[in-house]
Structure 1
């Protein structure tokens, strides 16, 4: 899970997960939960703390992004629902549909709906690709297209390299980083940038856990 709706929080909201914007086609799983969290520091000096708890019921995942947004936007709340249509976690192509909406200071600011697909390039699935396609509607504006491409490369059994690009209205967001997995948890170190009328740069330190 990697919330596309995070785009409205200044990096700007899940194959990436954590603070990555491009979503994969996986869900938490029936009766299971997870927590993705990260601290973001922007180049202009402000910072934000994010937490994304999510739980599964059959092929459906229910989640919510909570954001302090120190100095940028927030605080914000971003509920989301993802329904896995085809399980591609171990082989083949995974497909899911998802929707999310963002409230900032009690007002709906943004909403998205998209299709997420995930597939492996090689038989060992060491190189995974995630594609997102959908629509994004910002409060007071018309609806625009939303496109995302993410890739992750398993360097070892514990270390993974992740890169992504997200296209939305007047904005291109790039992120890349390294992930260290241990047990049911992982740590992320991510750097990102946004090309828009108000460009920005940031670094994320994240922790993800399943339970």
Structure 2
């Protein structure tokens, strides 16, 4: 989401968020590598649900660029649900957080909030996600409207096709397509994506490869 709307990440590999959270008393780790023309980002976002309806995330990214690797993003986020997503139904939530960028000497902290909505069809064979939100850019001190629209489509018992577009109220939007596969259902997932900015002739294209781990409930 650093591309278009802060750094609010959905369940890998989507950037458009879903109206879901980690199971009560359980945790997850989402990690991935994102490679573009000029840099390589290494992300890790651990998250836990201590109360049953509040998912807390604390993590960030290190970026290799110009032969140097440094911490470029530190993210804290909370997410809750107003309506649980069920098969052939819909869900609604709210997420808010902040991203600190240590490499920015002044005003390197962004604030954001957004509403994720999800709609299930054909017993969860197709799920559509829509986001609308707000981003306060610390460096420019400007407020932005953010948005996203994405789809998950089941290709097999363990494999999903991901397509989405997202952006802000200014500038060209982005698009991404990818595949998610469960090595161990609901516990170990791998994924890969390709993305680009519309009308940019590949100048901002990227590839990503991710690993997602989910635990059973274990927290007190």
TM-score range, shorter-chain basis? 0.7 to 0.9
Structure 1 unmatched ranges of 5 or more = none
1:70 aligns with 2:64: yes
Distance 1:196 1:75, change over 3 A: farther
Of 187-196 and 154-163, deviating more is: 187-196
How far is 1:83 from its partner?
0.8
Q: Deviation per CA, 1:143-196: give whole Å up to 9, x if none.
A: 121111010100111110001111213241211111111221111010111349
Q: 1:135 maps to which residue?
A: 134
Q: 1:192 maps to which residue?
A: 195
How far is 1:5 from its partner?
4.7
TM-score, length-normalised on structure 1?
0.87
Q: 1:97 maps to which residue?
A: 94
Distance 1:138 1:171, change over 3 A: farther
1:121 aligns with 2:118: no
Find the aligned partners of 1:101 and 1:158 in 2 and give their Cα distance. 33
Find the aligned partners of 1:119 and 1:138 in 2 and give their Cα distance. 30
Find the aligned partners of 2:158 and 2:212 in 1 and give their Cα distance. 14
User: How many residues get paired?
Assistant: 203
TM-score, length-normalised on structure 2?
0.83
1:40 aligns with 2:34: yes
Choose from 38, 47, 54 the match for 1:54: 47
Find the aligned partners of 2:72 and 2:99 in 1 and give their Cα distance. 11
Q: Deviation per CA, 1:101-126: give whole Å up to 9, x if none.
A: 1101175432211110111133x220
SS in 2 for 1:88: coil
SS in 2 for 1:69: strand
1:101–1:108 contact (8 Å) kept in structure 2: no
1:24 aligns with 2:18: yes
Q: 2:156 maps to which residue?
A: 156
1:55–1:62 contact (8 Å) kept in structure 2: yes
Find the aligned partners of 1:28 and 1:135 in 2 and give their Cα distance. 23
How far is 1:8 from its partner?
6.6
1:49–1:67 contact (8 Å) kept in structure 2: yes
